[in-house]
Amino acid sequence: MKKYLLFSLAVIVMMAGPASADLYTWEDESGVAHITDYLPPKSLKKQKVKVFEESKKADEKLTAQKEKKPDIVLYTKNDCPDCDKARNFLNSKNLEFTEYNLDQDQTAAEKRKGIDDSTDVPFAIINNNQVYGFTEAGYNRVLK
């Protein structure tokens, strides 16, 4: 039994290739481009070999996109319990947002009315998504 187990393990280890391999692109004699993880055949007279490796810049770009903070605008009014919940939720997530109080800022009230001719609050614009009212599930959905 141990022999079969060791044999199976050896086969699995041999079949598993390296986790990261170089990629080669080359053209064969008929001009067909090939992208492989092995070197081109030596029988080719002209070899165009390009080696592609992981790029730190690409990894940094992906990391920056993941860490990008959402663009959030929150419209509120005085004495609005749902507005307080929305504000507290965004603060609890340590998210930066711009808040406009429609009772205190007439320009903000006009701006809000220009969006959809409504004065309902809380109203949030998160990454160009309009969110009416407040629910944690709704805010979490647009923040993903």
Residues 79 and 27 in one domain: no
- For the chain, the domain total comes to 2
- Determine whether 112 is exposed, middle or buried from the number of CB atoms within 10 Å of its CB (0-12, 13-18, 19+): buried
Q: Is the pTM of this model over 0.95?
A: no
H helix or E strand, kind and range, residue 113: helix 106-116
In CATH, what number is assigned to the domain containing residue 96? 3.40.30.10
| Bridge partners (DSSP) listed for residue 99 | 74
Residues 46 and 77 in one domain: no
Residues 73 and 49 in one domain: no
Please report where in the chains the tokens 């092995």 appear, as a residue: 38
85 falls within a domain:
yes
Q: Convert the pLDDT of each residue in 44-60 to its tens digit.
A: 655 555 555 555 566 66
Q: Is residue 61 over pLDDT 70?
A: no
Cα dihedral 121, 87, 71, 126 sign:
negative
How much is the CA Rg of the chain, to the nearest whole Å? 29
